[in-house]
Amino acid sequence: MPRLAIERWAKDSDAAPDAAVVLTVEGTHGPIIHAVTAAAAERGARPGARLTDARALDPLLVAAAADPESDTALLKRLARWAGRWSPLVETDPPDALRLDVSGVAHLFGGERGLIADIEARFAAAGLTARLAIAPTAGAAWALSHYGVGEAIICGKDTGSKLAPLTVAALRLPSEATRTLERLGLKTIGALAGIERRALARRFRNADNPVDALDRALGRKAEPLTAIAAALPPRAALRLEEPATHPEAASQALERLMPALVRQLQQRHLGARRLSLTGYRVDGGTAVASVATAIPSREPRHLRRLLAEAMKRGGGALDPQFGFDAFALTADWCETLGAGQDSLVEEASGEHDIARLVDRLTVKLGPCAVQRPQARESHLPERASGWAAAVSSLGRAKRRGDPERVDCFPWIESGVAMTSRPQRLLDRPEAIDVIYATPEGMPRRFVWRRAVHDIARVEGPERIAPEWWRQPGSARLRDYYRVEDTAGRRYWIYRDGLVGDGRGGLPGWFIHGLFG
């Protein structure tokens, strides 16, 4: 990922896409350029150059401090995400990942299909990626960083594909690379033609190009070391004798909950889904699970939810022949730091609402407790709907914070959009409208046998039909915000235009009420 640092910075900044910006790190003799935008590269800025030299070419160059720690953290997250393509993923700082895809490519339609899928998913994430598949990790690294053209090679072609590449593709120390170039050995092909003992005498073991060449060609092993998997927080309890009492699970929960909460506190996490698993002596298991609306590590609240789930589940934790072990696992966690609701004012009540939603969901079921949810549509009747209050909350995330979940957007602000009514009718109702001209403002309308004289009118707001969902005969709408002489405010619209060729005269409907 040659542009990882600058692309991560661009996502978190408000700079214009065409800004000439360079990211710098501190060097021995001043700032050194770490990454550049496309506009800065066009003006002569290059990674590794001194900032003063780049500004000599372009005095208007904007410099910002690089953040290598955040880049490394992003690289680790990408490595965990890349587990979809390989069970063995290794980070190669500062900007690369190595995947062992032996026996995996057929799941994606072959090696070309695998590369196409990886490129498409990285592009969707806004990251530039250069990929290569080779028999060895060294050859794949060389091709992805210095190769041109074909990104897939087989074993017999490894040497010929690597031959035209520069010796820097062998990942040697910079001093060893400069020495080889001074000797005239500028490509891997030229290096491969030199007698091995002569090279071994000239370089130290750490800088030996013979070893690097052997690793790239597969003559010497170069195993991958996968990143350690982050296991979910878990507390276990083993019993000396099988427990057959119906309250065994509740008693085990009392003992396991403090241990699990301590793990959550140490890792600064909050649980979104908990599972209590009982292991029976006959090899079977019994599980009771609950989900929470927001991350939580309050032992009393979590214990109460699981207790209610066990009661509601009936025989879900039936010991049968007896339990000999229990495990309490936080299957789904999110970052949860220390905080307080308020400093001088009253708390917002968000946590109280979340706890109430959790209890109601456990008692009534996830389908019975719902919340409003925005949908991708500009038509008012399709722009919102209902979703389960707990199970779908993890999908709504705030920009710039991938771990924060916007759980209760409907209580965070009391400001409503003035252009939309607070109440929409389930279905727009037809009304009779009197107007001066067919395309003019409405003057009077009749709704439910009552006549309303319009005192004020604002509009129109034109909304086009969704041509990809609706038939070609669908008509556009002109919405008006009107107020009658009694002070009542309505949201009405005209369906269609005169002479639009999609039906007769336009129809009028009332869609919502203000106040």
Can you give the CATH number for the domain in which 374 is found?
3.30.1490.100
Residue % of the chain over a pLDDT of 70:
91
Q: How many domains, the chain?
A: 4
Whether residue 225 sits in one domain with residue 241: no
Least confident of 374-383, 408-417, 506-515: 408-417
Least confident of 13-27, 124-138, 150-164: 150-164
Average pLDDT, the chain: 86
| pLDDT on residue 300 | 93
Residue found under tokens 């490129």? 119
User: pLDDT-based confidence at 187, cuts 50/70/90?
Assistant: very high
Whether residue 188 sits in one domain with residue 218: yes
Is 43 inside a domain boundary? yes
Omega before 295 cis (within 30°)?
Answer: no
d(CA 136, CA 213): 11
Where helices occur in 221-273 by DSSP H, the ranges are: 248-266
Whether residue 392 sits in one domain with residue 356: yes
- Burial label for 166, CB within 10 Å (0-12, 13-18, 19+), is middle
Mean pLDDT of 383-412: 50
Per-residue pLDDT of 18-40, as tens digits, reads 889 999 999 888 899 999 999 99
| pLDDT on residue 170 | 92
| pLDDT on residue 407 | 36
Tell me if the pTM is above 0.95: no
Is 99 inside a domain boundary? no
Residue 406 reports pLDDT greater than 60? no
Least confident of 32-41, 413-422, 434-443: 413-422
User: pLDDT-based confidence at 371, cuts 50/70/90?
Assistant: confident
User: pLDDT-based confidence at 416, cuts 50/70/90?
Assistant: very low
95, 5 contact by CB (below 8 A): yes
CB contact set of 416 (below 8 Å; sequence gap of 6+): 422
Domain limits for position 496: 423-513
d(CA 147, CA 48): 21
Per-residue DSSP letter, 103: T
Per-residue DSSP letter, 409: T
For the record, the structure tokens of 86 come out as 């390989």
Whether residue 143 sits in one domain with residue 244: no
Whether residue 455 sits in one domain with residue 502: yes
Is 242 inside a domain boundary? yes
Residue 414 reports pLDDT greater than 50? no
Whether residue 434 sits in one domain with residue 407: no
Is 183 inside a domain boundary? yes
Whether residue 293 sits in one domain with residue 396: yes
User: pLDDT-based confidence at 410, cuts 50/70/90?
Assistant: very low
User: pLDDT-based confidence at 351, cuts 50/70/90?
Assistant: confident
Is 434 inside a domain boundary? yes
Whether residue 456 sits in one domain with residue 505: yes
Is 90 inside a domain boundary? no
Whether residue 219 sits in one domain with residue 249: no
Whether residue 392 sits in one domain with residue 318: yes
* More reliable by pLDDT, 473 or 110: 110
Mean pLDDT of 304-318: 80
From residue 66, alpha-carbon distances to 18, 32, 268 in Å are 19, 10, 26
Residue 103 reports pLDDT greater than 50? yes
From residue 331, alpha-carbon distances to 231, 255, 379, 388 in Å are 9, 19, 38, 19
Mean pLDDT of 161-174: 91
Choosing from 230, 261, 287, the residue where a domain stops is 230
Mean pLDDT of 51-55: 93
d(CA 118, CA 98): 13
Mean pLDDT of 293-302: 91
Choosing from 25, 50, 66, the residue where a domain stops is 66
Whether residue 410 sits in one domain with residue 471: no
d(CA 137, CA 216): 7
Residue 192 reports pLDDT greater than 70? yes
Residue 500 reports pLDDT greater than 90? no
Whether residue 409 sits in one domain with residue 307: yes
Instruction: Output the domain CATH number for residue 47.
Output: 3.40.1170.60
| pLDDT on residue 315 | 56
Residue 17 reports pLDDT greater than 60? yes
E strands, 137-284, are 234-243, 269-280
Residue 402 reports pLDDT greater than 70? no
| pLDDT on residue 276 | 94
Choosing from 230, 265, 283, the residue where a domain stops is 230
